[in-house]
Amino acid sequence: MAISLFALAFFLYLGLDLDQTSPFPASATPEGGEITYGTVLKLMHEKTKVRLHSHDLPYGTGSGQQSVTGFPNVDDSNSYWIVRNQPDMSAKQGDAIKSGTIIRLQHMRSRKWLHSHLHASPLSGNLEVSCFGGDGNSDTGDYWRIEIEGSGKTWRQDQRVRLQHVDTGGYLHSHDKKYTRIPGGQQEVCGVREKQPHNVWLAAEGVYLPVNGSQ
């Protein structure tokens, strides 16, 4: 399968280093397409429409690790994440992801992992969500379980999902509490241990790898 010009330009622009042991072809997926390991995507918060975002700005409280926020600008390149498996899993790039699977999300620009722990989040005092580690440096604080809302069994672009942090039990969450010292109207992203309407996310913009075995 030939790589699409759109996908090639996208990967070159983002500087993504694909897993060299896996097939290279990639393509933009129409709405409703499956999300696989190796997909580069943005996650949109259903209630407020911000994108899950990070950049090289540490928290001034708590862990002091790289901050994670909700960003209202759709076009910002710091909102791309690579869907990865656990390091000890046999799953490979292009494999579909079933509900209940534990995944990791790697921030595309900084190469750090979406992370959580028991530090308090800056605005609401919930569980802090940060970016931490890097290539070859990951631990269980980077593990998130995909929970698909509804009857779907594999993660698709049009499905509502929750991401539950394995170590703390907190669900990836956002709300309308905004930072006053961070420009751009960015809002807090944190973890909460209860299922709420504000911890539902949707796969949005990105480049999606074809499912292994598909034509």
- Domains in the chain and their CATH numbers? 5-207 (2.80.10.50)
Residue in 180, 209, 192, 25 with CA at minimum distance from that of residue 116: 192
Confidence of residue 76 (pLDDT cuts 50, 70, 90): very high
**pLDDT higher at 20 or 154:** 154
Rounded average pLDDT over 60-75: 95
Whether residue 21 has pLDDT greater than 60: no
Whether residue 114 has pLDDT greater than 80: yes
Q: Among 1-15, 78-92, 174-188, name the one with the lowest average pLDDT.
A: 1-15
pLDDT digits (tens, 9 = 90+) for 158-172: 899 999 999 999 999
Q: Among 28-32, 36-40, 131-135, 136-140, name the one with the lowest average pLDDT.
A: 28-32
DSSP string, the chain: -PPPHHHHHHHHHHT----TTS----BPPPTTPBPBTT-EEEEEETTT-PEEEEEEEE-SSTT--EEEEEE--TT-GGG-EEEE--TT----TT-B-BTT-EEEEEETTT-PEEEEEEEEPTTT-SEEEEEE-BTTB--GGG-EEEEESSS-SB-BTTS-EEEEETTT-PEEEEEEEE-SSSSS--EEEEEESS--GGG-EEEEEEEBPPPTT--
Rounded to two decimals, the pTM is: 0.86
Whether residue 1 has pLDDT greater than 80: no
The pLDDT > 90 percentage for the chain reads: 72
Amino acid, single-letter form, for residue 150 = G
